[in-house]
Amino acid sequence: MNPFTDQTALFTDFYELTMCQGYFLAGRAEDSAVFDYFFRANPFDGGYVVYAGLDDLLNALNGFVFSGDALAFLREQGFAEDFLDYLKDFRFNGAIASVPEGEVVFPIEPVLRVDGTIMECQLIETLLLNCLNFESLIATKAARIRRASGDRIVADFGLRRAQGPGGLLASRAAVIGGVDMTSNVLAGQQYGIPLTGTQAHSWVQSLDDELAAFRQYADAYPDNTVLLVDTVDTLKSGVPNAIIVGQELAQKGYSLKAIRLDSGDLAYLSKKARKMLDEAGFHDTKILVSNQLDEFLIRSILEQSAPVDGFGVGTELITGKKTAALDGVYKLSVYNGQPKLKLSDNPEKTTLPGKKQVCRFYDEDGTFYGDCIALSTESELAIMHHPHEKEKHCRLSGRRNEPLMQTVMENGRIVKQESNVSTIQAYCKQRLNALPEEHRRFEMPHIYKVGISDELDVLRNDMRRQLLAAFNTGE
């Protein structure tokens, strides 16, 4: 399934095409390149990112062709015929290495690496950034909401506040980060995510009284009756009417599954409603709540010992509020076999040259200790340096470690693929559990160690010196 449909090749920034025509005209179309995808800051003032979007990206790359319509449009934009001929036959035949989807990753480390011709690398840039930035943002938000919710049900209700057709990817990413189910029917169909949903206020409003509306719903869904109790007045009308319908269901051998609160003070109302349900004998009827929830409101509700069994989360989850975007970038690190580096007035923004791998090092108890970015040719990593502060380094010898990126595409063909969102979700959960608590907390999380190897440090510093020397700015 390619969520970008048949228009994938035009889903790009115009400058990718002007640059590619430039490479083409300069006879550089077959030059080789390596690009790294990485981000610079954790979203939500948090301590990590859940990486997502890989499978959608791979499927989109499989469908990456310039259609006749696309070529006709580019002709109108003034592109040259021989370049259009090149695009007509263009397929992505490069290689991609990536950390697994659902992995827990950190700023500045390469998460995905593209090897190909400069044309291949450049033409897929925007698609790649769009897909990985967005899904990783939402998966990370979902992981935070999951953390706050403990083992209670969390459902994605966000589609109506999602970003156009982007809502499809958002629902998928939400599940990767730990959400149990979604209201988004298309996401259910495309990704096999469990669906949930019962009724809106309009159902209750459409009949003359709430009790009649509840009865009609219970008639239609006796084994899955969830009643929205806040259309009129939650405690004076909604819950009492739900109890009447629950009693009628019980007489027919069914049980009232749940009630949902969607307004008012959810902590207060859930306690009162629980008491009323319990007193009527409905101990098994669950209480679900929704209404502008995020990780902080959920935590607050549960801190008040509110008897809530499940959360419906919409806007905050599906838009990745407040951060709203992951700042992932895609930078050239090798061109025709030569390592490349981009300087910046801000030393933190100077890129890391060369073809690289990331190794994760573990503590004895199996938790993550730190990640070392190294050249992909390095074998023994004994020490890692702080990326910017010369004096800081730490020893790695003796620690169990493993490379994080694996080849997922070779010669344009997918060689490793995990499309099952439940499997990816389970992997994410396992990896988050191996991340020490201090990096997971919401408030001022401890910064996870990401360093660079000796060889990479030397290469980067040498290149930087040379470039700076060329116009004599010194350091």
By beta-carbon proximity to a second copy, the closer residue of 316 and 454 is: 316
Nearer to a second copy, 224 or 305 (CB): 224
The minimum distance between CB 112 and a second copy, in angstroms, equals 14
* Residues 12-37 as b or e (16 or more Cβ within 10 Å = b): beeebbebbbebbeeebbeeebbbbb
Nearer to a second copy, 144 or 439 (CB): 144
Distance in Å, CB of 197 to a second copy, minimum? 3
As a whole number of angstroms, the distance between CA 310 and CA 61 comes to 37
Q: In the complex with a second copy, which residue's Cβ is closer, 204 or 404? A: 204
Give strand pairing partners of 465. Answer: none
Task: Report the SS3 class of residue 253.
Answer: coil
Question: Are 44 and 146 spatial neighbours (Cβ–Cβ below 8 Å)?
Answer: no
Q: Taking the complex as a whole, how short is the minimal distance between the CB of residue 251 and a second copy, in angstroms?
A: 20
Read out DSSP for 108-132? TS--EEEEEEHHHHHHTHHHHHHHH
Give the tokens for residue 228. Answer: 């929205």
**Closest approach of Cβ 93 to a second copy, in Å?**
19
Nearest approach in angstroms of CB 469 to a second copy is 12
Closest CA to 112 of 55, 173, 174: 55
We find the least distance from the C-beta atom of residue 331 to a second copy, in angstroms, to be: 7
CB of 181 to a second copy, least distance (A): 9
Question: Minimum Å distance from CB 342 to a second copy?
Answer: 5
**Judged by CB, which is closer to a second copy: 225, or 357?**
225
How far apart, in whole angstroms, are the C-alpha atoms of residue 387 and residue 460?
10
User: In this structure, what DSSP letter does residue 181 have?
Assistant: E
When the beta carbons of 13 and 248 are compared against a second copy, the nearer one is 13
- Between residues 35 and 106, which has the closer beta carbon with respect to a second copy? 35
CB of residue 321 to a second copy, shortest distance in Å = 5
SS3 at position 146: helix
Neighbouring-strand partners of residue 403:
359
Cβ count within 10 A of residue 275: 13
Task: Name the pairing type of β-strands 104-105 and 413-414.
Answer: unpaired
414 vs 467, beta carbon nearer a second copy? 467
What do you get for the CA distance between the two ends of the chain, in Å? 50
State the amino acid at position 418 in one-letter form: E
Q: At what angle do helices 125-149 and 295-303 cross, to 10 degrees?
A: 10
Angstrom distance (rounded) from CA 60 to CA 13? 16
C-alpha gyration radius of the chain: 26
CB closer to a second copy out of 56 and 454: 56
